[in-house]
Amino acid sequence: MNEPVYSKEKVLNRPSIGLTILVVNVLLILLSFALFIFGMAADIPGAIRAVVITLGALYGFIIGPILFGGLKIIKPNEALVLTLFGKYYGTLKKEGFFFVNPFVTAVNPASSSENSSGSYKLEGKPDANKSGTTAYSIQIPKRKLSLKAMTLNNEKQKINDSQGNPIIIGVVVIWKVVDTAKAVFDVDNYVDYLSIQCDSALRNVVRLFPYDSDDDEKSLRGSSREVAEDLLKELQGKVTVAGLEILEARITHLSYAPEIAAAMLQRQQASAIIAARQKIVEGAVGMVQMALEQLNESEIVNLDEERKASMVSNLLVVLCGNKEVQPIVNSGSLY
């Protein structure tokens, strides 16, 4: 299937002659006014008077003002997508003062939802710990497309991980427009499109990983870099049709949902206690073994199996106990 013509970006390589056109047009308008006044006041034949008045009025009041509409100023990292009577005319990307067809119209679908302060408002997802819906803004130039790297700070979402545990996660996405024709004509609103696809990609990626893992398996908490790379690839595949490039995607918030946070905290504490106890027992057994070996080598005292078992038991109690042991001195015989 052939790609639509408007999906192919057409960059207008026009010379920066806007200032020259401006000066010349102002001078011609002044000259037309002078010609119009001369035709009205001078004592000349009627036919010549009509021609002079018509030419002066035509350029001074109609043609001259119309030509001002073809003057366009482009700042660095800005683009202007132009249409002529409904057809894609081209894109101005180079900074400068240009003159184009005065009947062209600049198009930017993202500016249609722009508020008075120049910020494009996006409704965020409700925060799990707060009531209501928060809004965040992206600066979108009116009628112009920004080619700068912009930040989409997606609100926190509640998503189930691969084990079915509900978690709260938030991401930030760094993106920019690389194909102005696709951004304007192939999607209805490229900012809304990016926000929706970001939510979808985040859900698809999070469902592949557990929140935490005890083995070498990738997890959201322990493999944040790998998860971010997968999110970037997933999101880039979805927004290429809109002419956008994802520069970076990072997880900014990660936690269990409030309804299971307490239980998961107890689980983590239990795992930590078990791991600590395991280390303590391993160390205590090693110390007891070393003590018995040194007693046998030095022949300080000869212990039968029953006394060795009693000594091992006492040493393990001392080494593995949570509190300090109160010593009891035996002044009598061991037997």
**Over residues 196-207, mean pLDDT:** 89
DSSP label at residue 209:
S
> Which residues are within 8 A (CB) of 200 and not within 5 positions of it... i.e. 6 or more apart?
238
In the prediction, which pLDDT does 264 show?
62
CATH number assigned to the domain with residue range 110-256, chosen from the 4 options 3.40.50.300, 3.40.640.10, 3.90.740.10, 3.30.479.30 = 3.30.479.30
pLDDT recorded at residue 129: 45
**DSSP character at residue 118:** S
Residue 142: phi and psi, rounded to 5, are -70, 125
Distance CA 223, CA 215 (A): 12
pLDDT at position 134: 40
The per-residue pLDDT for range 76-103, each reduced to its tens digit, is 989 999 999 989 999 999 889 999 999 9
Rg of the chain on CA atoms, in Å: 38
Contact 318, 288 (CB under 8 A): no
* pLDDT value for 281: 77
E-strand ranges in the chain read 71-74, 78-84, 87-92, 96-99, 105-106, 119-123, 135-139, 145-146, 150-153, 157-160, 166-177, 244-256
Tell me the average pLDDT across 156-184: 87
Q: What is the mean pLDDT of residues 308-326?
A: 68
Give the model's pLDDT for residue 131.
Answer: 42
pLDDT for the residue 23: 94
0.75 surpassed by pTM: no
Q: When comparing pLDDT for 122 and 185, which is higher?
A: 185
Q: Could you state, in order of their start, the residue ranges of all structural domains in the chain?
A: 5-107, 110-256, 269-320
User: How high is the pLDDT of residue 236?
Assistant: 92
In terms of pLDDT, which residue wins out, 230 or 270?
230
* Residue-wise pLDDT tens digits, 127-157: 444 444 444 445 555 678 889 999 888 778 8
Closest CA to 123 of 112, 113, 136, 111: 136
* Residue 117 pLDDT exceeds 50: no
Percentage of the chain with pLDDT > 70? 74
- pLDDT value at residue 124: 45
Q: Quick check: 288 pLDDT over 80?
A: no
- Alpha-carbon gap, residue 206 to 239, rounded angstroms: 19
Give me the pLDDT at residue 39, please.
Answer: 83
